[in-house]
Every structure is written in structure tokens, then in C-alpha cells.
């Protein structure tokens, strides 16, 4: 096989969802935006629905259409970006529930789809999406008269448990929602881990489902095995790859493998990243190029047919550290050339 194999353990996704659900006494939804964090939203959502998830979140209405096709009628599909201009027809036809972010969106929704469900997103301090306290105070009674299905906000620093922003946002969210007879949601994965004060009526984990931090107890979901295209002997002082960035300090054996930044393996990884041949570390050398990565296999007892980037020895966050980024970016950057295998 000329392309890398991405193996996605859907049983691990379900186990992670169940474990996060067990930490709360409320409904646990599932965030499957960005094509299920790069792993395939239809496949992920179907197994989670079978496991008991009844509410899903995506970023945009177009993602909701794909998800509705996969899930059929029944589960709630919430749209973080709300009711955008031009979304009315697909919100209606796919039975989507927008999280209204502004007065303009609210007017658009109740005028175009007066009987259709909607939720409300509040800005509790992140300054990204949602109504700010003053705006919410001005329209709250009008909004509540339309019977919203959910009121939500999002934490900016939940992956840092001791960050004072967490307590500040909790205080603000409580001030904006106390006494209201509407289900509320504040916590994603990090918020679940902060404890019951943050759970309210629904949590909505995302990255934790897929094996990423800050959920340290998550089961690994993704394995990435990359075929070796060619090996070669490189003599001392010869160079490898673009820009001559790696110079052989001794005679070496170099493997060239079939993946690169076009496949989501970020160029910034470069020298310093590690692959694995069984239990043995294999250093990446030179620059990551569009379709290829080179590795020093001089120390291996035999030439491998594949090298593993993600799996038993390395998580998405380990790989992210090589590139100075986060596990979210690694997952959502996976390209279309991988041969994908789903384990159920």
C-alpha cells in the first residue's frame, strides 16, 4: 500500500464518552464538529448514538446536514455558529437547532422559523461568540418567551484548572442564568474535569472523546502507520532533504516514508520528532515535505516496511509537542489520502 493507514478505534471513543459521562450527574452530549475532529463525524456520531448520546454539537449548519443524514431523525443537532444568513432552508430541512449568538440572529430565526427550536449562547468572558451580559439583559425576557432549548457558554481556560478565569466565568454565567427554567451548559472536556460546579444540566465533551488532553485518562483512539517507500545509505557529511537541514555525522541508513504536510503532518515537526519501529524510537531527520518524511533507521536490526507516528507509544499531544501546537490541530489536520480503518 502506497498510503499511510489511519486506524480509528470507535470503541475507544465510546469508552471515553462513557467515562466522561460517569463523572457527571447530567446529560453528556458529544461535539463532532470539524468532521468529528478529523476522524469522520458520521462514523463517530453513529456509535455514540448507539451508546446513548442524544445531543450532538457541530460548528456550522452545513456540518449538521451531513450529521442528520448519518443519524436520521431523533437526536438533537446543535449549531455553535447559530442561525447564519442563508441557513434557514437547511436548518428547517435537517431539523437543526442553532445556538443564537446575537440579537440579529434571534430576529432572523424567529422571523424565518417561528416554531423551530433554538438555543442561546452567552459570552461569559471569552469574547468570541454569544451575547454579552448587557445585550442578554436587554433581550432576555423576549428570548425566554420563545422557549429556548438550551443556554450555553464556553470556558476560555478550562485546560488550566487553577486559572482564575474559570471561576470568573462560572460566576458570570451563574449571574446570567440563575433562576431561569432552561437547561444550561458551560463545560466541554476541560470543564467536566473541573468538577460538578461546572456541569449544570449538560456537558459537551469534544477533544476528550478522541484521546486528547486535558483528559489524561482518555483511551487512545488513533493509530497512524506510514509505509516506507525507500531506504538508502548516506555517507558521512552528506545531507538529507530540503535546505540541507540534516547532515550525516556518520554513515547512516535513511528511510523515506509516504506522508507529509499535505497529510496533516505539520512541517514544524521536522528534526526532533520521533517515529517508532515496534518499540524502538526512530528520529525524524530533515524537513517534513509535502508528501514525504525522512527518518534515521541506522540503529534498527532490520529495515522496516512501516513506521508508526501515532499509537501505543505516542499520543496526538506528544506529536503536537514536536510541532509546538496542540492535539486538536493534529487531529483536525488529517488529510484525505490516508486509508482509514474503523474498529468497532
Q: pLDDT per position in the chain (344 positions), as tens?
A: 689 999 999 999 999 999 999 999 999 999 999 999 999 999 999 999 999 999 999 999 999 999 999 999 999 999 999 999 999 999 999 999 999 999 999 999 999 999 899 999 999 999 999 999 999 999 999 999 999 999 999 999 999 999 999 999 999 999 999 999 999 999 999 999 999 999 999 999 999 999 999 999 999 999 999 999 999 999 999 999 999 999 999 999 999 999 999 999 999 988 789 999 999 999 999 999 999 999 999 999 999 999 999 999 999 999 999 999 999 999 999 999 999 999 99
Closest CA to 100 of 67, 147, 33, 169: 147
- 154: which 3 cell numbers? 464556553
Out of 50, 171, 233, 242, pick the active-site residue: 242
- Predicted TM-score (pTM) of the model is 0.95
Closest CA to 227 of 332, 303, 300, 320: 303
Residue ranges per structural domain of the chain: 10-210, 222-343
CATH 2.40.37.10 fits 222-343, yes or no: yes
Find where cell 434571534 sits.
106
- The residues near 72 (Cβ < 8 Å, ≥ 6 apart) are none
pLDDT at 270: 81
Task: Please determine whether the domains at 10-210 and 222-343 fall in the same fold group of CATH.
Answer: no
Residue 257 near residue 272 (C-beta atoms within 8 A): no
What are the phi and psi torsion angles at 16 (to 5°)? -65, -40
Domain with residues 10-210, CATH architecture:
Alpha-Beta Barrel (3.20)
Residue 286 near residue 245 (C-beta atoms within 8 A): yes
Residue 83 near residue 108 (C-beta atoms within 8 A): yes
- The residues near 144 (Cβ < 8 Å, ≥ 6 apart) are 180, 182
Note if 242 is an active site residue.
yes
Residues 63 and 94: their CA atoms lie apart, in Å, by 11
Residues 62 and 71: their CA atoms lie apart, in Å, by 15
Out of 33, 210, 276, 322, pick the active-site residue: 33
What are the phi and psi torsion angles at 7 (to 5°)? -105, 125
pLDDT at 262: 95
Amino acid at each position: 500500500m502506497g498510503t499511510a493507514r489511519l486506524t480509528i478505534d470507535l470503541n475507544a471513543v465510546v469508552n471515553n464518552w462513557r467515562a466522561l459521562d460517569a463523572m457527571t450527574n447530567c446529560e453528556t452530549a458529544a461535539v463532532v464538529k470539524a468532521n468529528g475532529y478529523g476522524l469522520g463525524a458520521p462514523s463517530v456520531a453513529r456509535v455514540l448514538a448507539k451508546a446513548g448520546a442524544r445531543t450532538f454539537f457541530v460548528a456550522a449548519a452545513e456540518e449538521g446536514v451531513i450529521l442528520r443524514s448519518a443519524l436520521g431523525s431523533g437526536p438533537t443537532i446543535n449549531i455553535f455558529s447559530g442561525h447564519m444568513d442563508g441557513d434557514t432552508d437547511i436548518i428547517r430541512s435537517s431539523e437543526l437547532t442553532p445556538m443564537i449568538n446575537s440579537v440579529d440572529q434571534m430576529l432572523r430565526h424567529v422571523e424565518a422559523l417561528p416554531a423551530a427550536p433554538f438555543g442561546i449562547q452567552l459570552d461569559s468572558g471569552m469574547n468570541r461568540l454569544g451575547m454579552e451580559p448587557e445585550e442578554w439583559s436587554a433581550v432576555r425576557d423576549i428570548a425566554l418567551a420563545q422557549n429556548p432549548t438550551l443556554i450555553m457558554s464556553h470556558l476560555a481556560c478550562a485546560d488550566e484548572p487553577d486559572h482564575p478565569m474559570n471561576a470568573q466565568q462560572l460566576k458570570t454565567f451563574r449571574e446570567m442564568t440563575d433562576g431561569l427554567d432552561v437547561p444550561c451548559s458551560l463545560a466541554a472536556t476541560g470543564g467536566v474535569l473541573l468538577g460538578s460546579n461546572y456541569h449544570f444540566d449538560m456537558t459537551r465533551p469534544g477533544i476528550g472523546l478522541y484521546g486528547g488532553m486535558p483528559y489524561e485518562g482518555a483511551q487512545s483512539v488513533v493509530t497512524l502507520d506510514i509505509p516506507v517507500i525507500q531506504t538508502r545509505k548516506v555517507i558521512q557529511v552528506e545531507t538529507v532533504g530540503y535546505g540541507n537541514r540534516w547532515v550525516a555525522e556518520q554513515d547512516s541508513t535513511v528511510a523515506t516514508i509516504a506522508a507529509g504536510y499535505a497529510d496533516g503532518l505539520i512541517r514544524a515537526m521536522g528534526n526532533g520528532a520521533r517515529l517508532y519501529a515496534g518499540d524502538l524510537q526512530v528520529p525524524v531527520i530533515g524537513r517534513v515535505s509535502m508528501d514525504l518524511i525522512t527518518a534515521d533507521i541506522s540503529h534498527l536490526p532490520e529495515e522496516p516496511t512501516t513506521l508508526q507516528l501515532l499509537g501505543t507509544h505516542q499520543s496526538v499531544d506528544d506529536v503536537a509537542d514536536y510541532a509546538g501546537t496542540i492535539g486538536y490541530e493534529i487531529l483536525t489536520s488529517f488529510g484525505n489520502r490516508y486509508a482509514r480503518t474503523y474498529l468497532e
